[in-house]
Structure 1
């Protein structure tokens, strides 16, 4: 078979055929779906998964969705909303940040383990992934997991593939747990507070049983979100208002959670870094980052920092990923500790011994 640019297989069998041929010839491939998640500088010819699209089955009663990776994410969200359900992990739309004009896909969401503000309450994308079908770097079609939570036994490879950015295998089908779309939500806003005060607010609120589903600090204001049924929502709101009265919270029915989710406040130019840290370290780390000449925002109750500005924050924060380069140099993904790097290399050799899947993506 002759491999050409812009390969676009429409079936799992075609994906397996392409990967088997590329494995035999040691031909590198750069995987792409909607092209909206990362700046993919991997070497090789382009393997587009956009035609590997469509919902295989959706069972609202069982709250289970099975779909192919090229399925547009907005299409899935509309289908779920019509049944009063949603992807609970609130996947962000990175187009405001990266400036892409493609359409986010389900496969890209899973491959990046993309998760929004609700992660601190319900977990990340991988926590809602019940199973996968995939093609490894040899061209073998494999599956792991099941269609319901009780059938997910043994080694859970789906959790391993979520967040691997297509460097281990090509997803051909994903099984996701859906959850009811919460009918009501409200936000407590705390304008004019520093990260240090915001962290105190987050720590107090997140230690309660009131199920805070968002805790962010953007533009000098802290935000807490709660969601649920109208009656119990009012109860939880009032308890949080009383608990945090010293910080003079304001109640907002309409709050900028979509913009927070999509990091729209840092849309445009300039390098943008995504930094994972202990929430207790966030205020001090933001102070040091600002001395480099940029600005910061917080999500996940302080566990996620977005840094927009010059310099390389890895000297301060080892788990810093360069999301938007705009002139910044160096690898996008942070270097791993030696023991973790050895484990990662071993996994890559097992899944993709010829190194054909997105080579260099994690290092470029």
Structure 2
């Protein structure tokens, strides 16, 4: 397949106009680290943003950065570290899980709305996004949003592009918030809780005035894979505290005291805590080099463990929980079982299930994205028609 690597917006726009005139489909990608994600649909060529690189504007005092879409995430993180700032949404690196290479790009992060463990308290990637530039399916260059939140012109359009998976346009530039990086962190580990007990414990913790920024439960089947097997033996319910050193110390001790009535408690200092949450973020237990189906399931925190328990009665499934139990990383032992999974999600009050990894044969018979309600699907179709009337962008990645 031919690959286009435009170096400017105008060059990208010309390529898109040519393909729109011929109704020729384009696979829109950034660093191509999520290749294979979605339902395969043939495209004539790949349109890649990775030559659109560089930080356009960054004043740490404003806590806002603007970068071209193909800028490597590693370059963004390096600049932010020097200024004591961060991407609050902790974007996942999909390469270990999907067994891909390439370099994650900042445009790809926002196009897929990639969000990590801090999501349940700090918001998703789209909640940090202030402005975008992109080329739509007509080959028109569009600018929306601005460098500060009070400039709300086009704000809905900005949020629309986040998570659109390249189906509405090629992102060329993004502007987003970068808050201060915590000075330190510590993780409290409670051992021996089953899934239901852990869900109740995490709910209780979130009601305490301790500003917990990470809450995950690692059942026995996965806990041993983290930190090279150095976690305490058994199930691990892990709770992160971040901030100034003095505050972290005091809050961590209060949290540990509150948790000791539930089970044995241990504490991880900054370096190990940071490593643990990166491994949780990047789904280390299931980065196993296989093609066993992986689901990313978002439900109410109180029902995640019920969903897993129900599925275990009918299918081979392994799982662990992030976002206080509201994000379930699930590995199926054989088939994706998409219909069964989504039926249980519906029964338990609704949510979203996205198939991140599977064999090509399994993808051919399983919807990768959660089916939309009829009204939402109609609205999405109207938006698609407006942005990409010839339907040339990423046809296999429409939910």
- TM-score, normalised with respect to structure 1: 0.95
Rounded to whole Å, the distance in 1 between the matches of 2:20 and 2:204 is: 53
Match of 2:306 in 1: 284
Among 212, 217, 224, the residue aligned to 2:239: 224
Match of 2:343 in 1: 315
Q: 1:155 Cα deviation (Å)?
A: 4.5
Q: How many residues end up aligned between the 2 structures?
A: 360
Match of 1:325 in 2: 358
Q: Which deviates more, 211-220 or 126-135?
A: 211-220
Q: Which string of whole-angstrom CA distances, capped at 9 and with x for unpartnered residues, describes residues 249-305 of structure 1?
A: 221112311110000111121110111111111111111222311101101111111
Rounded to whole Å, the distance in 2 between the matches of 1:192 and 1:245 is: 11
Rounded to whole Å, the distance in 2 between the matches of 1:360 and 1:308 is: 22
Q: Given the alignment of the two structures, is residue 238 of structure 1 paired with residue 250 of structure 2, yes or no?
A: no
Q: Which string of whole-angstrom CA distances, capped at 9 and with x for unpartnered residues, describes residues 112-150 of structure 1?
A: 100000111111100100100111111111111101122
Corresponding residue SS for 1:234:
helix
Q: 1:105 Cα deviation (Å)?
A: 0.6
Corresponding residue SS for 2:362:
coil
Is the contact made by 2:33 and 2:94 (CA closer than 8 Å) also made in structure 1?
yes
Rounded to whole Å, the distance in 2 between the matches of 1:225 and 1:38 is: 32
Q: 1:360 Cα deviation (Å)?
A: 2.3
Rounded to whole Å, the distance in 2 between the matches of 1:140 and 1:276 is: 35
Match of 1:301 in 2: 324
Alignment map for 1:1-364 (pairs within 5 Å) = 5-40=2-37, 41-44=40-43, 45-153=45-153, 155-218=155-218, 219=222, 220-248=235-263, 249-253=265-269, 254-255=272-273, 256-268=276-288, 269=290, 270-291=292-313, 292-309=315-332, 310=334, 311-312=337-338, 313-317=341-345, 319-326=352-359, 328-329=362-363, 330-362=366-398
Is the contact made by 1:290 and 1:296 (CA closer than 8 Å) also made in structure 2?
no
Corresponding residue SS for 1:6:
strand
Rounded to whole Å, the distance in 1 between the matches of 2:41 and 2:10 is: 24
Q: 1:328 Cα deviation (Å)?
A: 2.7
Where in structure 1 are there 5+ consecutive unaligned residues? none
Rounded to whole Å, the distance in 1 between the matches of 2:63 and 2:316 is: 46
CA change 1:167–1:123 in 2 (3 A) is: same
Rounded to whole Å, the distance in 1 between the matches of 2:396 and 2:180 is: 39
Rounded to whole Å, the distance in 1 between the matches of 2:119 and 2:256 is: 23
Rounded to whole Å, the distance in 2 between the matches of 1:37 and 1:317 is: 25
CA change 1:301–1:146 in 2 (3 A) is: same
Rounded to whole Å, the distance in 1 between the matches of 2:307 and 2:7 is: 46
Corresponding residue SS for 1:250:
strand
Is the contact made by 2:190 and 2:259 (CA closer than 8 Å) also made in structure 1?
no
Where in structure 2 are there 5+ consecutive unaligned residues? 223-234, 347-351
Q: 1:37 Cα deviation (Å)?
A: 2.8
Corresponding residue SS for 2:2:
coil
Q: Which deviates more, 182-191 or 249-258?
A: 249-258
Rounded to whole Å, the distance in 2 between the matches of 1:95 and 1:335 is: 26
Is the contact made by 2:35 and 2:100 (CA closer than 8 Å) also made in structure 1?
no
Q: Which string of whole-angstrom CA distances, capped at 9 and with x for unpartnered residues, describes residues 59-102 of structure 1?
A: 11111111111111111111110111111111011111000111
Q: Which deviates more, 13-22 or 88-97?
A: 13-22
Is the contact made by 2:183 and 2:242 (CA closer than 8 Å) also made in structure 1?
yes
Rounded to whole Å, the distance in 2 between the matches of 1:100 and 1:317 is: 29
Corresponding residue SS for 2:4:
coil
Corresponding residue SS for 1:13:
helix
